[in-house]
Structure 1
């Protein structure tokens, strides 16, 4: 989305930045992993196709994409590429009702899994979606074998709505109530929207 192409969201342990050209090569290497392809239900793309995809996501009015950076690694290395650990997305799922979105989170670097980086990145995205995009309902689609991810969203108060044995996938949903927004704020220790100083390298 163009709306998120010039900002970054700063949390306690992660920083979310727009997906830019400089991130593509590392992202492409991640997506060559059969394990990540299986977890994200993705097909491998060529590097050229990945660059094209990055540009299409930048202008797509239905998809909000951020690269997840480890905040401490970014401070230590001073490099977004070295600090990249995953990505997170929101997809608007209904052209008429633009208040419903599907969320996704991927922590690609194994050493950062199980450290609440994915949890924090997803909560930051949910808050951004509510406050900046006017979202009122979230859903996630997760492979039945991905029990850690299912468990994480259940802890976020998502509830199962459908289950497909054919696609080996479960769908969970959460409605944005005042009570849930309060829970969200209580579970986000730091939330700041700042200008993205590298926005020209789109």
Structure 2
């Protein structure tokens, strides 16, 4: 989606930024991992295919993708943005007849960042963005049965199991958006800020005058 091509979302510990070409090599290295391939039900791609996929995610009207950055590392202008990457988060509008239904995916690719509540923060940020900017009224999450950590996280966010597919070994969880959910998320994310991505990056790289 082009809607978020210049959007930076700032949370407590992470930044969500648009998926750009500069992020592709690091992402490609992640997806060589058999563990991540299994957890995300993905097939390995060539680097060129990964660049093609990045362009598709940017252009397609039914996909909204952010790269997850370590906010603390990103604050150091001497560290390249790609070196701050820890994962990604996506919204897919899966029903052409109902654009208010969205599948939500989150991947914390860097093992050292798992189990620290990062995925939960990222998911909440993406949910409130989807509600406010994309008009999402129902979220779905399709998760491999072996990925118990992710299943547990979505359940803690009040997603409810609606089906299990034994063939694909996958569980589907759903959460319907109502006013109480919106209010709760806005309260939990009261400190979240939306910034101009290009301007923020420019300020980050600007020299500090003594």
Cα distance in structure 1, aligned partners of 2:47 and 2:35: 19
Q: Which has the higher contact order (CA 8 A, sep 6+)?
A: 1
Large movers: runs of 4+ above 4 Å: none
Aligned to 1:89: 90
Q: How does 1:1-202 map to 2 (within 5 A)?
A: 1-76=1-76, 77-197=78-198
Q: Please report the TM-score for the alignment, with normalisation by the length of structure 2.
A: 0.92
C-alpha contact 1:6 1:199 (8 A) present in aligned 2: no
Deviation at 1:79, TM superposition (A): 2.3
Compared with structure 1, are the counterparts of its residues 147 and 167 closer, same or farther at alpha carbon in structure 2 (3 Å cutoff)?
same
1:78: how far off?
3.8
* Residue pair 1:141, 1:172 contacting (<8 A) in 2 also: yes
Structure 1 residues 128 and 33: alpha-carbon distance in aligned structure 2, compared to 1, 3 A threshold:
same
RMSD: 1.5
Gaps of 5+ in 2: 202-210
- What CA distance in whole angstroms lies between the structure 2 residues aligned with 1:7 and 1:48? 25
How big is the shift at 1:152?
Answer: 0.4
Gaps of 5+ in 1: none
Q: Which moved more, 1:2-11 or 1:68-77?
A: 68-77
Cα deviations by residue, 1:134-192 (Å, 9 ceiling, x for unpaired): 11000000011111110100010100000011110000000001111122123225211
Contact 1:93 1:101 in 2 (8 A): yes
Residues 1:198 and 1:54: Cα distance change in structure 2 (over 3 Å): farther
Contact 1:5 1:199 in 2 (8 A): no
Distance 1:96 1:8 in 2: 29
- 1:199 offset after TM fit, Å? 10
Q: Indicate conservation of the 8 Å contact 1:141/1:169, yes or no.
A: yes
What CA distance in whole angstroms lies between the structure 1 residues aligned with 2:64 and 2:131?
A: 13
| C-alpha contact 1:12 1:189 (8 A) present in aligned 2 | no
Greater shift in the superposed pair: 114-123 or 42-51: 114-123
Q: C-alpha separation between the residues in 2 aligned to 1:34 and 1:198?
A: 37
